[in-house]
Chain A
Amino acid sequence: MMQIDPKSAEASLAEIDAVIARLKQSTYYRGASTIIVAWGVLVAVGYLLNQWIPRQAGFVWLAVNALGLLATIVIGSRQQRANRKFDWRIVIAILLAFGFGLICSSLGHFGARELNIFWPALFMFGYALAGLWLGLAFTALGVGVALLAFVGYLFVDTWFDIYLAVVNGGGLILAGLWMRRA
């Protein structure tokens, strides 16, 4: 019979724990990937519409956010039907972020350009924080997109909305696609 000493047994159990940790992270990434891609597409469309019909910005973003929330709920329900766990606190977190965002943006009296940078910065801060617990890909996404958006705020003038469509929408789409393969 095969002999296994306590050190080797401990190493094997540690190996199992490491695999389970990687599996959990992969499950978070895969569960979030479709939602992140959906938000990426919606946000990109929102910025593109903002560029062409800036006067309708309020209506455009109301529609984008409502559709995003609806997409999150539909994707979450589908995941649950497929016997995969979906954490409904994500929906509450999005609503809380909207609530805090509305308060801050009202108090701050931001102009259109500042509002364009404020909302991505707020949501990317959420991604960056969540990543500390769920997987560093979320943190990289949050910090990367927020920094690029801020660079655009400082240096991009006329095509700022197009720039944000690429950086914010594109960043979310790329990150979501990467997470699907994790």
Chain B
Amino acid sequence: MSKPDDVIHQPMRLRIMAALAAGAGKGQEFDFSRLKSITQASDGNLGAHIETLERAGYIGVERGYQGRRPRMVVRPTPQGLRAYKDHVAFLRSVIDSEAER
């Protein structure tokens, strides 16, 4: 049985990783405003959780400018995608083991 991931299990971080994993390899780009709209987070909340995921090595953050406006693009790392996949497998195994009882 896989193990739960403490970093990813937090609901907002789970939403962020779910969006990034679903868009990975499909040419999807996630800037701050798109991620905010998909995860339905507030600016501060999203910023804090992005930092946590970045510190854990689960996402890479590219900070730059688009014209004069600051722009942040977030991408999942291979380690982050693996951790997310394992965490989802763990969640499914918890439900399956309950169903088998």
Question: Is A16's CB within 8 Å of the partner chain B?
Answer: yes
Judge whether B27 and A15 touch: CB under 8 Å: no
Tell me, in angstroms, the Cα distance from A114 to B95 when the chains sit together.
Answer: 60
Residues of A within 8 A of B45 (CB): none
Main secondary structure of the interface of A (DSSP, over half): helix
Judge whether A23 and B9 touch: CB under 8 Å: no
Tell me, in angstroms, the Cα distance from A9 to B14 when the chains sit together.
Answer: 12
Question: Is A5's CB within 8 Å of the partner chain B?
Answer: yes
Min Cβ gap B35→A in Å is 10
Tell me, in angstroms, the Cα distance from A4 to B1 when the chains sit together.
Answer: 13
Judge whether A5 and B94 touch: CB under 8 Å: yes
Residues of B within 8 A of A26 (CB): 34, 37-38
Known A-B contacts A2-B6, A2-B9, A182-B37; the reply to A19 vs B15 at CB < 8 A is yes
Question: Is A105's CB within 8 Å of the partner chain B?
Answer: no
Tell me, in angstroms, the Cα distance from A26 to B26 when the chains sit together.
Answer: 14
Judge whether B38 and A15 touch: CB under 8 Å: no
Main secondary structure of the interface of B (DSSP, over half): helix
Question: Is A85's CB within 8 Å of the partner chain B?
Answer: yes
Tell me, in angstroms, the Cα distance from A88 to B3 when the chains sit together.
Answer: 42
| B1-47 with Cβ < 8 A to chain A | 3-4, 6, 9, 11, 14-15, 18-19, 22-23, 26-28, 33-34, 37-40
The size of the chain A interface, using a CB distance under 8 A, is 23
Residues of A within 8 A of B9 (CB): 2, 4, 12
Residue of chain B at shortest CB distance from A181: B33
Residues of B within 8 A of A23 (CB): 19, 22-23, 28, 38
Question: Is A107's CB within 8 Å of the partner chain B?
Answer: no
A-B CB contact pairs (8 Å), 20 listed: A2-B4, A6-B94, A9-B90, A9-B94, A12-B9, A15-B11, A15-B18, A16-B14, A16-B88, A19-B18, A19-B19, A22-B40, A23-B19, A23-B22, A23-B28, A27-B28, A83-B26, A84-B28, A85-B27, A182-B37
Residues of B within 8 A of A (CB): 3-4, 6, 9, 11, 14-15, 18-19, 22-23, 26-28, 33-34, 37-40, 88, 90-92, 94-95, 98
The 10 closest A-B pairs by CB, nearest first: A83-B27, A6-B98, A9-B94, A84-B27, A19-B18, A9-B91, A16-B18, A2-B4, A19-B15, A22-B38
